[in-house]
């Protein structure tokens, strides 16, 4: 039971603890939204969202692109980080200054000083898109935290344990919320339930998530 089960939608400014080193900063990205949206458009113009294929041969329901020095990719050969967009052979778009600032400030607010991400995966969910339970373990060093920014439609996030079979709790992530996790929570299983519900006033029928990582 947590305070939001009793009192409903959380207020911007709340910091919810999900684990010893995992937090949701409610509404932390709201002051950045006006700058983030045109920056996403700029990234998309060079490296459009696309549905990648997993090593098992399934096409992801989530569409993705990347910015920064390295981008997360998947194909029949496996999951990896690449300095080039495989669709156009070009470097990924440069990480916009406002992205890097948001990631650093959010990490600091959760107790991780000096976070400098080299990779930003941008996920786009449409109604029905989901992300099955997984660990983020394609990064070279697990000592840096991960910062995740949610925009648009509300998603139900699944927060599990260190084993796939550990019971996962559900957390609603709203437009503007930022999740930060590291330390002993860095390798916890997590996922996103199929997107459903009301369109967002600003973004319509989609949810966009940025996941900032130190990959190299």
Binding positions for ligand MD3, rule: CB under 6 A? 18, 22, 121, 123, 131, 136, 148, 159, 179, 181, 185, 188, 190, 192, 209, 211
Cβ neighbours for 107, distance < 8 A, ≥ 6 positions apart: 113, 115, 145, 147, 180
Which does residue 43 bind out of Fe ion, ligand MD3, none, counting CB within 5 to 8 angstroms by kind?
Answer: none
Q: CA 115, 113, 102, 197: dihedral to nearest 10 degrees?
A: 90
Give the number of other Cβ atoms within 10 Å of residue 145's Cβ. 26
The whole-angstrom separation of Cα 157 and Cα 170 is: 6
Distance in angstroms (rounded) separating the CA atoms of residues 103 and 120: 10
Judged by CB under 5 A, the residue of 85, 105, 136, 185 near Fe ion is 136
d(CA 20, CA 87): 39
Q: Tokens 């098992």 correspond to what residue?
A: 56
**Nearest of 83, 154, 148, 156 to residue 121 by alpha carbon:** 148
Size of the residue set binding Fe ion (CB under 5 A) = 1
Nearer to ligand MD3, 39 or 146 (CB): 146
Q: Please identify, using beta-carbon distances, which residue of 25 and 64 lies nearer to Fe ion.
A: 64
Q: How far is the CB of 91 from ligand MD3 (least distance, A)?
A: 21
214 binds, among ligand MD3, Fe ion, none (CB under 5 to 8 A by kind): none
Q: Which residue is nearest to Fe ion (CB)?
A: 136
Minimum CB distance to ligand MD3 smaller for 47 or for 148: 148
DSSP code per residue over 2-36: -HHHHH-SPPTT-EEEEETTEEEETTTTGGGHHHH
25 binds, among ligand MD3, Fe ion, none (CB under 5 to 8 A by kind): none
Q: How far is the CB of 35 from Fe ion (least distance, A)?
A: 25
| Nearer residue to ligand MD3 within complex by CB, 89 or 200 | 200
Neighbours of 48 (CB within 10 A): 12
Binding segment for Fe ion among 26-34, 51-59, 135-143, 169-177 (CB under 5 A)?
A: 135-143
- Letters for 140-179 (x = contact with Fe ion by CB under 5 A, - = none) are ----------------------------------------
Q: Which of residues 75 and 135 has its CB atom nearest to Fe ion in the complex? A: 135
The helix/strand/coil state of 195 is coil
Q: Which residues bind Fe ion (CB under 5 A)?
A: 136
């Amino acid at each position: 039971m947590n305070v939001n089960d009793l009192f409903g939608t959380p207020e911007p400014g709340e910091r919810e603890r999900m684990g010893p080193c995992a937090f949701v900063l409610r509404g932390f990205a709201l002051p950045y939204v006006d700058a983030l949206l045109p920056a996403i458009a700029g990234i998309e113009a060079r490296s459009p969202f696309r549905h990648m294929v997993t090593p098992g041969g399934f096409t992801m329901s989530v569409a993705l692109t990347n910015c920064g020095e390295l981008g997360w990719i998947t194909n029949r050969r496996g999951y990896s980080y690449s300095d080039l967009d495989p669709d156009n052979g070009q470097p990924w778009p440069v990480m916009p200054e406002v992205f890097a600032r948001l990631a650093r400030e959010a990490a600091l607010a959760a107790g991780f000083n000096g976070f400098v991400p080299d990779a930003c995966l941008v996920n786009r969910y449409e109604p029905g898109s989901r992300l099955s339970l997984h660990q983020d373990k394609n990064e070279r060093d697990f000592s840096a935290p991960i910062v995740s920014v949610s925009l648009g439609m509300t998603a139900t996030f699944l927060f599990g344990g260190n084993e796939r079979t550990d019971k996962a709790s559900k957390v609603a992530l709203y437009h503007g919320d930022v999740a930060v996790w590291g330390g002993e929570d860095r390798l916890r299983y997590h996922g996103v339930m199929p997107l459903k519900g009301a369109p967002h006033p600003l973004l319509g029928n989609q949810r966009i998530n940025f996941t900032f990582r130190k990959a190299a």
